[in-house]
Structure 1
């Protein structure tokens, strides 16, 4: 049971746990950020807590697909060369570095560069994974099991939802700027409340798709 494959399976499960658990922590923090009856300083503390918690799910999001690719490679479910596998690992490590730079520079002017880099990479990856997943399901190559191709497509959708959530809560930044300037009123409160409402439905969809991915990984159904 200490063979590399089973160790990777264990790591895969742990990453799923951090992904879902961390996301729920972010969801809970967002509830207090959107509460207009709380002092601004307290809402900012919840925002800082949200960002600190969120870096763990973002880490899991980066590591889950590369660990899954390594597992598929070991079991012969994906037909790629070793150099391509190594390249995939290098890209994953680079992306992980970007994710942590986004967190580390969140209060710095440099943060804009890292945030843009992360978004551009996610858009490229979304397009690639959808195309790769669809072609693999159709041709049964280089992925030989269709359920893995479906997981890749779902993962791409999850990345898209993540980008949507970022756009949705961008109103919080506007809201906090106004609050720090002493502005108050229903129009300011609406920036927080409406953003959280939109994000809530996206989060529920997100968690449902994660559950579907988990089901596919456990049952590994024969499709097609």
Structure 2
């Protein structure tokens, strides 16, 4: 919507400002510039963020996988392999961040549509909790390769042990009863968001399995530094990558499928 600024003056020609208004079913931002007003719905901003996070999640995982194939290449010198490992770490912070920020964005958007079991002040709680969670993830990234980094990563895993069943409970309740847990509202036969919640939990399980499998690389790298390249050590790299490859393919398909479900909303 474009219209005249009610109090247009010279200041309006050089200053842009935003003001938030409550709308149903979502919020609206008004941007004033040179006496014109442009309204941007917050739901659209969240949708944009959702697309960005999904892209970095899926694309980032592909980048990590490709960097990891060079880490397992026995023909490369140790320094080269370590550089590829560092590249994988730097890429990995993007999907690790994106996957958790999908949660508050998704709940916020679904709340606008009346489909979220997390509503009202609890949407804000999810945003704050996610921000704290992300700080832990970033701290683990900054302290990678240290005992502190390992401890933070282990705590990050434990958070997922809570999040995964929570998603299954929230989504599963709606799929079984047709109502929103805690809220009690009927979803009117609209089950795509509940399905996404349940599916999201399954995808996070795959992510945990990949983490568990790749932990063997830490041991392999320690031995590689101490003993040099041996068939036994190289087998750890190649066998671990082979196991991870199958899960990675499933992971990518599931991420793409969940994105398709969110865009098309087929049921």
Tell me the TM-score normalized by structure 2. 0.80
1:14 CA displacement: 1.0
Q: Which of the two has higher C-alpha Rg?
A: 2
Partner of 1:42: 80
Please tell me whether residue 215 in structure 1 is matched to residue 260 in structure 2: yes
1:1-224 mapped onto 2 (5 Å cutoff): 2-142=40-180, 144=187, 145-222=190-267
Q: Give the superposition deviation at 1:79.
A: 5.0
Unaligned runs of 5+ in 1: none
CA contact (8 A) 2:74 2:229 kept: no
| TM score, norm. by length of structure 1 | 0.94
Unaligned runs of 5+ in 2: 1-38, 182-186
How many residues align? The count is 222
Which residue of structure 1 aligns with residue 5 of structure 2? none
Say which structure is richer in strand.
2
Give the Cα separation in 1 of the matches to 2:52 and 2:210.
24
Q: Is the 8 A contact 1:78 1:141 kept in 2?
A: no
Pairwise CA RMSD of aligned residues? 1.4
Q: Which moved more, 1:177-186 or 1:54-63?
A: 177-186
Which of 1 and 2 has higher RCO (CA within 8 Å, sep 6+)? 1
Runs (4+) of structure 1 exceeding 4 A deviation are none
For residue 35 of structure 1, give the secondary structure of its aligned residue in structure 2: coil
Between Structure 1 and Structure 2, the one with more helix by share is 1
Conservation of the 8 A alpha-carbon contact between 1:102 and 1:111:
yes
CA contact (8 A) 2:107 2:118 kept: no
Cα offset, 1:218, TM superposition: 1.3
